[in-house]
C-alpha cells in the first residue's frame, strides 16, 4: 500500500498552483502518486478532475495529456468498456495527436482480446504510424512492441522480428526513454 503521509502535501499544492500548465502538472503528479500507491480509483478521479480543470483553463495540451493518463488508468484498472469508449473518443481528437498511439494501442489490445483480429491489427499498425510521427522513442517503443506481439501471436514471426528491429533502432537512437 505504501506510505500515504505525503499525499496531503500534493492536495495542498493543488490549492497553491493556481491555473494553467502548472495546475495540469500538479494533477498529473498527484494521479501518478495515487497510482503508485495502488489506488487506481483515486488516480482516475484526480486525473479526470485535472483534465477538466486544464480544459477550463485553456491548457489543451495538459488536458490531452491527462485524458491519456485516464485512458491508461482505466485500462489498468480493468475497466475495459470505459477504456474502449475513451480510446475511441480520443483517436483523431484535436490536441491529442501526440498520444494517439496510446489510444490506438489500448483499443487494439481490447479488440484483440475480444477476437476482432482484423480491427486490432489495423489499430496496432496505426499506433506505430502515429508513434513514428511523434518521433519520440517513448511512443515508438510500446507501439512497436505491441505490434510485434500481435504479429507473433498470429504466427507472423518474420513481421514480428521486423517490428522488434525497430525497437532496437529506437533504443539505439534515443538519449533517454
The H or E element containing residue 162 is helix 157-173
Cβ atoms of 128 and 143 within 8 Å: the answer is yes
pTM (2 decimals)?
0.85
Mean pLDDT within 78-107: 91
Residue count of the chain, please give it. Answer: 177
CA distance 116 to 109: 10
**What are 146-170's pLDDT values in tens digits?**
999 999 999 999 999 999 998 898 8
CA distance 171 to 8: 38
Amino acid at each position: 500500500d505504501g506510505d500515504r503521509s505525503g499525499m496531503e502535501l500534493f492536495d495542498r499544492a493543488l490549492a497553491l498552483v493556481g491555473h494553467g500548465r502548472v495546475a495540469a502538472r500538479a494533477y498529473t503528479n498527484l494521479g501518478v502518486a495515487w497510482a503508485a500507491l495502488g489506488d487506481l480509483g483515486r488516480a482516475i478521479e484526480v486525473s479526470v478532475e485535472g483534465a477538466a480543470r486544464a480544459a477550463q483553463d485553456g491548457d489543451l495540451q495538459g488536458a490531452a495529456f491527462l485524458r491519456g493518463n485516464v485512458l491508461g488508468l482505466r485500462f489498468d484498472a480493468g475497466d475495459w468498456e470505459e477504456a474502449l469508449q475513451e480510446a475511441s473518443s480520443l483517436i483523431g481528437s484535436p490536441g491529442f495527436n501526440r498520444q494517439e498511439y496510446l489510444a490506438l494501442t489500448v483499443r487494439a489490445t481490447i479488440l484483440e482480446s475480444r477476437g476482432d483480429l482484423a480491427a486490432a491489427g489495423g489499430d496496432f499498425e496505426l499506433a506505430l504510424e502515429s508513434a513514428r510521427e511523434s518521433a519520440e522513442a517513448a511512443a515508438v517503443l510500446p507501439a512497436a512492441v505491441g505490434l510485434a506481439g500481435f504479429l507473433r501471436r498470429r504466427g507472423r514471426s518474420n513481421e514480428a522480428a521486423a517490428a522488434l528491429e525497430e525497437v532496437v533502432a529506437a533504443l539505439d537512437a534515443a538519449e533517454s526513454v
